Amino acid sequence: MSIRSAVEFIIVDDGSPITYDVGSIDLNITWLKITEDIKWNQAGARNLGVTYAKSDKILLTDLDHELPSETFAYLINAKNPGRNFYKIYRRSPERGLYKGHSNLFFMSRARFFRHFGYDEEFAGNYGAEDYRFVKYHKYHGSRQKYLPKKIICYERVLDREKSYHSLTRDLSANTPVDLQKRKECETYGDEYGHSRIFLNFEWKVIYRHSVFPTTLPTEKRWWKPLWWLRYLSSTLSR
């Protein structure tokens, strides 16, 4: 199966004030637009994107990163991440190989939802949602790792004056919120420290298109008769 037919792209426009025509894109793609003006709504935008995703293997990233075809091929063929969630090393001519971005994750969609996604109580103010997302997952047994160093991504060259936001990065509002959530986890244990606020806004679908594969999947006629093994083994049932 080709990368083009195997990958689904979910694009989330987080309330941009401009109008545009997406046109026709021959990819598996869903283009969404949040129709409310909520500052720093990354938590909500990511929750929305994962909600529309069809695969259990997902990659969460901002649009200032790009992946080479080799990385796409690796992710397509990788086993389900399960309780692991992965960062990806970056490479550039100037810096060589360097650490991955703190909010680019390859992970399981089911695991994302098992722990309630991003906490949208942070939306409206800058910062802490990525940090708390990682901490909350680790508290509940998720394991953060890196993909092999040969699997990389690149930072895109963007004109941050013309094509970037102008919001103020001020942590003063969200730092107390983050500290309160940490205290709840420390005091009350599992599943505390998350507001459960989810998709707290309006949105619309701008564009959808599907590419139908030209070949059938590999046959696994042995899979269904072995259901009882998955019934007996929690490892096989994942």
Read off the tokens for 202.
Answer: 């309006």
Q: Quick: pLDDT tens for 181-204.
A: 999 999 999 999 999 999 999 999
124 dihedral zone (left: phi>0; alpha: psi -120 to 50; beta):
left
CB 61 within 8 A of CB 72: no
Q: 3-215 has which fold?
A: Spore Coat Polysaccharide Biosynthesis Protein SpsA; Chain A (3.90.550)
Residues 6+ apart with CB under 8 A from 176: none
pTM: 0.93
* pLDDT confidence tier of residue 21, bands split at 50, 70 and 90: very high
Nearest to 112 by CA among 52, 154, 72: 52
What's the mean per-residue pLDDT of the chain?
A: 94
Residues 207 and 22: beta-carbon distance below 8 Å: yes
Element at 86 (helix H, strand E): strand 84-87
pLDDT, tens digit (0-9, with 9 covering 90-100), for 66-124: 999 999 999 999 999 999 999 999 999 999 999 999 999 999 999 999 999 999 999 99
Domain ranges of the chain: 3-215
